[in-house]
Structure 1
Amino acid sequence: MEKFQVSQKAKLPTRFGNFFIQSFREFKLEKECECPVEHLVVFTDKFCDAPLVRVHSECLTGDVFGSHKCDCGGELALAMEKIAQEQENGKGGMLIYLRQEGRGIGLFNKVNAYALQDKGYDTVEANEALGFKSDNRNYSLVGDIFEYYKIKKIRLLTNNPKKIEAMSKYVEVSRDSIVVPSNCYNEKYLATKKAKLGHLL
């Protein structure tokens, strides 16, 4: 069984700047069924020795609908802005968009977790009440993506020390912080990320 397939390279003009994209189709074996998951990589034409990289897990509610319950949509936009600036400066960068909705529990379960949050649970308590870990994500494909693009060193846009630890298995990592303004709807969410998940906020 193949581990992953890579699409052709295509142009992606955006409001942030002009990029290229490729899709990585990952094959996962679940309950005797091969289930492909398709991820996206957005990248500049050239990279320096240590490009700016954002590993962003899908958040449909934040990324597409602009939900104020999290900081995901704001982080995605800021990451694209920063990578576009790196391109202008001749350094380049990459955004790896992983289809790991709800920290890996999927959209259906994420909405159920949202319902528990409406009753006062924080994000960690809600995931655990549904029988999941606080964070169910897996980053093994990212190592293959770095290898595919021959990237050995990165400046990682993140506040998550666990993500730094995960990426360090594959490349040499230094951190660039990514902080977006909070609001009255996501203050508890951000406080939980800092207190229970160790985020550097």
Structure 2
Amino acid sequence: MITIDISQIATLPTKYGIFKIQAFKEVTKNGEGKEHLAIFTDNLSDEPIVRVHSECLTGDALGSVKCDCGEQLQYALELIAKEGGMIIYHRQEGRNIGLLNKVNAYALQDAGFNTVEANHQLGFKADERTYEVVEFILHHFGIKKLKLLTNNPKKIESLGDIEIIERLPIQITPNPHNEGYLQVKKDQMGHLL
């Protein structure tokens, strides 16, 4: 059981459209914890489109093309602004190894390791993410059924008692910097690309 502090709801006008946002902070024994966001439209249906987007500072904020994260976030924002739904901005940087280790993994990738091998070299699993807070957020909004915008089968399997009525793929055109990365996600992590 996790303890969560919840912010008030605020308006977030963006270049994609106008959203509402609400923050959810995991509370640990020392009072610290990761802060996650629900970014959603006013017209949430009973079976909304939901994107669980894992934080990627390099892709989301810096425009890195080494991965497909930033493009996936932009796609989700555009689609949800148009169709209605929610993005849960899941603050588990680098598949939950943190920014420092993610940059170390990048350095190992520069040396020839793929994304999974780099994580293993650092002593981590290919994917360290957990999804309890995502379930909490969905329950908070009373979402029992959804259309999940993802290519990651682990996200499909991780949402407990939430019924996924449809998986919506995110098709991003590979580039020379992320072709190998995407192939590893498909071949070694089972992503549906």
Fold similarity call, TM over 0.5 = yes
User: Which one-letter code corresponds to 1:25 in the other structure?
Assistant: K
CA distance in 1, matches of 2:74, 2:11: 18
Match of 1:192 in 2: 184
Aligned pairs (5 A) from 1:34-49? 34-49=31-46
Match of 1:164 in 2: 156
Which runs of at least 4 in structure 1 moved beyond 4 Å after TM superposition? Answer: none
CA distance in 2, matches of 1:188, 1:145: 34
Residue 71 (structure 1) shift: 0.1
Classify the secondary structure of the residue corresponding to 1:36.
Answer: coil
Match of 1:89 in 2: none
Match of 1:81 in 2: 78
1:67 paired with 2:44, answer no
Matched residues, number: 192
Unmatched 5+ residue regions in structure 1?
A: 87-91
User: Which one-letter code corresponds to 2:144 in the other structure?
Assistant: K
Superposed CA offset, 1:145-189 (max 9, x none): 11110001000000111110012x131102000111110000000
| TM-score relative to the length of structure 1 | 0.93
Given the alignment, which residue of 144, 161, 172 partners 1:152? 144
Match of 2:21 in 1: 21
Match of 1:116 in 2: 108
Residue 2 (structure 1) shift: 6.9
User: Which one-letter code corresponds to 2:26 in the other structure?
Assistant: E
Match of 1:132 in 2: 124
Unmatched 5+ residue regions in structure 2?
A: none
Residue 28 (structure 1) shift: 3.5
CA distance in 1, matches of 2:161, 2:106: 33
1:100 paired with 2:97, answer no
State the identity as a percent.
Answer: 57
User: Which one-letter code corresponds to 2:180 in the other structure?
Assistant: K
User: Which one-letter code corresponds to 1:114 in the other structure?
Assistant: Y
Superposed CA offset, 1:44-80 (max 9, x none): 1121121000000100000000001000000000000
| TM-score relative to the length of structure 2 | 0.96
Match of 1:178 in 2: 170
Match of 2:48 in 1: 51
